[in-house]
């Protein structure tokens, strides 16, 4: 009787399935990955490298926004996040996944995952024309610190 659960676990590990809750705030890694492919990777590229001009990189930098005042709010208000047609639950799943997927080394130890309610509030006031200046100001706040 105990062989079946062990076998199912081994099959799950063999196909790369992660245990639910393995990433804080991510209830469905597969859905987050699909949502990233459909909503984000066209501009930010599959590996999160962006183009350093109109579509900033996320790889190695996105979680650093969580370390500066206003950075957490910024991530929920950037146009691609705030105006996407995903509901708040899927968006929270995607944003939390993105932080751990592209910049796990900078996710603060005390990070509290984005919630659907928080994103619902942030999306009501999306950044538009001031997004580039806001990003530059926030990046300047962590650019001089240790970058690992």
CATH of the domain at 130: 1.10.760.10
Cα–Cα distance measured from residue 72 to residue 69, given in angstroms and rounded to the nearest whole number: 8
Give yes or no for residue 139 having a pLDDT over 60.
yes
Whether 61 is covered by a domain: the verdict is yes
Ramachandran region of residue 52, left (φ > 0), alpha (ψ -120 to 50) or beta? Answer: left
Q: Is residue 11 part of a domain?
A: no
> Does residue 4 lie within any of the structural domains?
no
Whether residue 21 is contained in a domain is answered as no
Query: Residue 131 falls within a domain, yes or no?
Result: yes
pLDDT in tens, 58-81: 999 999 999 999 999 999 999 999
Q: Write down the pLDDT at residue 147.
A: 47
- Residue 117, both tokens: 């309610």
pLDDT band at residue 54 under the 50/70/90 scheme: confident
Is the residue at 74 inside a domain?
yes
Rounded to a whole number of angstroms, the distance between the first and last alpha carbons of the chain is: 48
- Mean pLDDT within 33-37: 96
Give residue 116's domain range: 27-143
- Rounded to 5 degrees, φ, ψ at 26 are -115, 110
Q: pLDDT category, 85, cuts 50, 70, 90?
A: very high
Q: Are 103 and 64 in contact (CB under 8 A)?
A: yes
Domains identified in the chain, total number: 1
Domain membership flag for residue 137: yes
pTM above 0.95, yes or no: no
CA–CA gap between residue 107 and residue 88 (Å, rounded) = 21
SS3 81: helix
Rounded mean pLDDT of the chain?
85
Is residue 116 a part of any domain in this protein? yes
Cα 84 to Cα 31, 41, 119, 135: the distances in Å are: 15, 13, 12, 19
């Amino acid at each position: 009787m105990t062989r079946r659960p062990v076998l199912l676990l081994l099959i799950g590990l063999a196909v790369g399935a992660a245990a639910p809750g393995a990433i804080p705030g991510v209830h469905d890694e597969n859905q987050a990955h699909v949502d990233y492919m459909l909503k984000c990777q066209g501009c930010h590229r599959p590996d999160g490298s962006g183009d350093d001009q109109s579509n900033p990189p996320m790889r190695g930098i996105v979680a650093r926004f969580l370390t500066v005042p206003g950075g957490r709010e910024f991530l929920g208000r950037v146009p691609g996040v705030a105006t996407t047609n995903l509901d708040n639950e899927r968006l929270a799943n995607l944003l939390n996944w993105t932080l751990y997927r592209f910049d796990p080394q900078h996710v603060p130890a005390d990070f509290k995952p984005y919630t659907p309610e928080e994103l619902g509030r942030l999306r009501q006031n999306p950044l538009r024309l001031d997004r580039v200046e806001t990003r530059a100001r926030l990046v300047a706040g962590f650019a001089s610190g240790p970058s690992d």
